[in-house]
């Protein structure tokens, strides 16, 4: 895999330049029942709260498979919400406190909910934070503009210890695991196994079934991106969110507009200058942005490059509205893959 990141920020004003295949029957990432939080809830009246819409799509399918129309859950975030920027209300925190199970992404993705999740666990609420159970990738180091220092599949990425210069940083591990659909399939199995602790083994088989559906769709995604020539498998994104996608499908992330894995980073025009240089050297044709955030920064950067670089909106941290092409997790991944391929294939 070619996967290099140049952490770059852009000012909000005008820019001035001086700037594995997994089978549903496979072991769930080597996780055993002892690795899941204990739960003794009865199935009848089971109360499930999910933080993000992406996870909500998967959890909802498992619940519907097992319980049919009687299934119910609550998703905290509305469609279109940026999970980095979302703040839970006191009523939502109370809802989680009374739930039999809270399913969260974890690894700091839900920045405004992290403290609440930690407190809930301390208070004995069953919270399944799935990202850290899925062999998370480390954020790649900032190569300070050196786009030639690539990471390959057979190399172990290194992470600088104690580097916490960005107050909005997630830490060493990347929480955006769902861009690797094989990891989301494992997540479905983990969630099914966790729900099965409520006393109904059917949840586990439903988790396997949903995992199989995700893997079938992953084959479609792989076929969509296969049309992109190797030389054009270069990504620039608004924040560091496509690391798993790059790792899975052999792309190179040559730069990010906002440093780090959060949309809440600060601007740095000097790093922007290095990004523009890299984009010109790499003949970058598109910048990929999150539909949940404003495209203004990316459009300003595109203008600085003479308008030759397209700004392409992806569904990153949230599902889209009905009929958006991203109404479910699987639809979201197919739509994102199609948009990436359309921007880079020609």
- In angstroms, the CA 131 to CA 135 distance is 8
C-alpha pair distances (Å), 321 with each of 318, 332, 340:
10, 11, 20
* Residues 333-343: tens digit of each pLDDT: 999 999 999 99
pLDDT at residue number 272? 82
Residue 89 falls inside a structural domain: yes
CATH of the domain at 191: 3.40.50.1980
- In angstroms, the CA 86 to CA 109 distance is 10
Residues 176 and 281 both lie in one domain = no
Residue 126 falls inside a structural domain: yes
Could you tell me the pLDDT band of residue 77, with boundaries at 50, 70 and 90? very high
Residue 214 falls inside a structural domain: yes
| Residue 165, pLDDT above cutoff 50 | no
| Residue 127, pLDDT above cutoff 90 | yes
Residue 28 falls inside a structural domain: no
Residues 311 and 192 both lie in one domain = no
- Tokens 């730069």 correspond to what residue? 255
pLDDT at residue number 335? 98
Contact by Cβ (8 Å): 218, 185 = yes
User: What value does the mean pLDDT of the chain take?
Assistant: 82
| Residue 44, pLDDT above cutoff 70 | no
Top-confidence range, 43-52, 65-74, 332-341 = 332-341
- In angstroms, the CA 102 to CA 218 distance is 26
- In angstroms, the CA 320 to CA 339 distance is 14
pTM of the model: 0.81
- In angstroms, the CA 153 to CA 157 distance is 9
Residues 340 and 238 both lie in one domain = yes
- In angstroms, the CA 261 to CA 291 distance is 16
Residues 270 and 339 both lie in one domain = yes
* Residues 203-241: tens digit of each pLDDT: 999 999 999 999 999 999 999 999 999 999 999 998 889
Residue 7 falls inside a structural domain: no
Residues 107 and 232 both lie in one domain = no
Residues 182 and 317 both lie in one domain = no
Residues 178 and 276 both lie in one domain = no
DSSP bridge partners of 231? none
Residues 52 and 76 both lie in one domain = yes
Residue 156 falls inside a structural domain: no
Contact by Cβ (8 Å): 62, 88 = no
Question: How crowded is the C-beta side of 74, counted as CA atoms within 13 Å?
Answer: 18
Contact by Cβ (8 Å): 318, 312 = no
Domain that holds residue 274: 227-344
Residues 301 and 211 both lie in one domain = no
Residues 63 and 176 both lie in one domain = yes
Residues 60 and 186 both lie in one domain = yes
Q: Which of 218, 253, 283 is the last residue of a domain?
A: 218
**Total tally of structural domains belonging to the chain:** 2
Contact by Cβ (8 Å): 223, 241 = no
Burial class, 80, CB count within 10 angstroms (exposed 0-12 / middle 13-18 / buried 19+): middle
């Amino acid at each position: 895999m070619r996967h290099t990141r140049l952490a770059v920020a852009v000012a909000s004003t005008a820019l001035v330049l001086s700037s594995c295949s997994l089978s549903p029957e496979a072991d769930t990432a080597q996780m055993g029942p002892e690795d899941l939080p204990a739960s003794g809830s009865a199935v009848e009246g089971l109360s499930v709260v999910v933080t993000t819409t992406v996870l909500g799509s998967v959890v909802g399918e498992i619940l519907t498979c097992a319980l049919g129309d009687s299934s119910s859950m609550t998703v905290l975030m509305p469609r279109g919400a940026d999970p980095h920027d979302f703040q839970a209300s006191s009523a939502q925190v109370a809802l989680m406190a009374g739930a039999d199970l809270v399913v969260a992404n974890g690894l700091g993705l839900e920045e405004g909910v992290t403290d609440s999740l930690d407190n809930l666990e301390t208070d004995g609420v069953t919270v399944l934070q799935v990202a850290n159970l899925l062999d998370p990738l480390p954020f790649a180091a900032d190569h300070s503009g050196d786009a030639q220092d690539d990471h390959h599949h057979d190399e172990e990425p290194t992470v600088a210890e104690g580097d916490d210069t960005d107050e909005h940083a997630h830490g060493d591990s990347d929480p955006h695991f769902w861009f690797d659909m094989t990891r989301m399939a494992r997540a479905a199995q983990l969630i099914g196994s966790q729900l099965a602790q409520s006393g109904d083994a059917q949840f586990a088989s439903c988790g396997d079934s949903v995992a199989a559906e995700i893997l079938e769709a992953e084959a479609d995604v792989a076929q969509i991106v296969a049309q992109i020539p190797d030389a054009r498998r270069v990504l620039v994104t608004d924040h560091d969110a496509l690391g798993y996608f790059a790792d899975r499908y052999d792309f190179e992330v040559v730069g990010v507009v906002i440093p780090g894995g959060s949309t809440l980073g600060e601007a740095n025009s000097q790093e922007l200058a290095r990004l523009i240089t890299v984009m010109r050297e790499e003949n970058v044709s598109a910048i990929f942005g999150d539909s949940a955030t404003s495209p203004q920064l990316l459009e300003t950067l595109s203008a600085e490059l003479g308008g030759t670089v397209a700004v392409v909106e992806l569904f990153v941290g949230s599902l889209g509205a009905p009929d958006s092409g991203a109404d479910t997790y699987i639809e979201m991944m197919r739509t994102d893959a199609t948009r990436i391929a359309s921007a880079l294939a020609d």
